[in-house]
Amino acid sequence: MPEPWSQDGFDVRFDWGPDGGAAVAGGAVVVVVVDVLSFTTTVGIAVAGGAEVLPYPWKGEGAARFASERGARLAVGRLEARDRPPDGVPPVSLSPAGTLRAAEAGALHGERIVLPSPNGSTVVAGLTDTGAQVVAASLRTRAAVARWLARSAPPGPVAVVAAGERWPGGTLRPAVEDLWGAGALIDALVAEQRGVGRPARRLSPEASAALAAFEAVRHDLATSLAACSSGCELVDAGFGDDVVVAADLDADEVVPVLDGDALVGVATVRGVPTLGETP
């Protein structure tokens, strides 16, 4: 008999962090990970720019070795990227704004990038053995991901996992921006199902709560994102541009899908999605 926290019997499920992801992934055909500030936002921008992103939980020697073994480039820290002497194109880091500048300069096409993150990347890594297709979503990609789910993903339950943040002691801090991001995706999925004439998906109470949270801020999203705890942390550290870029709803049309050890782009613009193709 399924555990009650698996949300079994619902078409769309929602929970938090690695443990919540493991709980709702059972029986799901797709698990969507949301880390708005900043892992999945940066991933979406990078794959739209033609890169492949290899998730890795922590920076350090292990990440450097992982990148070397896979012929990939290791992303630098956000502060390191900002403090490097300007040479036209910023190095890739967790910064969505810096990654967007690199993508717009054409510096990411064909690159394989290891992007360490203790939150979104850790959740993605923990889901690789569930048998479900793992996808990364953000506010920027939520419409594209919903389109892919409704039109191209295998039929079956979808689990949405908010990565959250970490308290200094290492415990999960539920981060409201990830609740909003999950709700934004669910909102787009409900609309997409209706648009293609398919039956409505049954939302778990948890998924319905995420949807309601997004609906409460959808008309003032950028301001709310900048005012929430994680947004304030970035603004205070001088990374306000990252919050602005992360709040750009539906800006990207490429879905980051885990293929082996890398998140690769699936184009969804008015056509049949193709693995590794960008519009």
Residue-wise pLDDT tens digits, 74-105: 999 888 887 765 656 678 899 999 999 999 99
Residue-wise pLDDT tens digits, 166-178: 999 999 999 999 9
Q: Cα angle at 202 between 199 and 207, to 5 degrees?
A: 135
Cβ(40)–Cβ(137) under 8 Å? yes
SS3 sequence of 224-260: HHHHCHHHHHHHHCCCHHHHHHHCCCCCCCEEEEEEC
**Of the spans 35-39, 57-61, 87-91, 126-130, which averages the highest pLDDT?**
35-39
* Domains observed in the chain: 4-51+120-267 (3.90.1560.10)
Residue-wise pLDDT tens digits, 116-171: 999 999 999 999 989 999 999 999 999 999 999 999 998 999 999 999 999 999 99
Rg (CA), the chain: 17
Sequence-ordered alpha helix ranges (H) in 10-165: 17-25, 39-48, 61-69, 78-83, 96-104, 120-126, 142-151
What is residue 277's predicted lDDT score, i.e. its pLDDT? Answer: 43
Kindly report the pTM of this predicted structure: 0.93
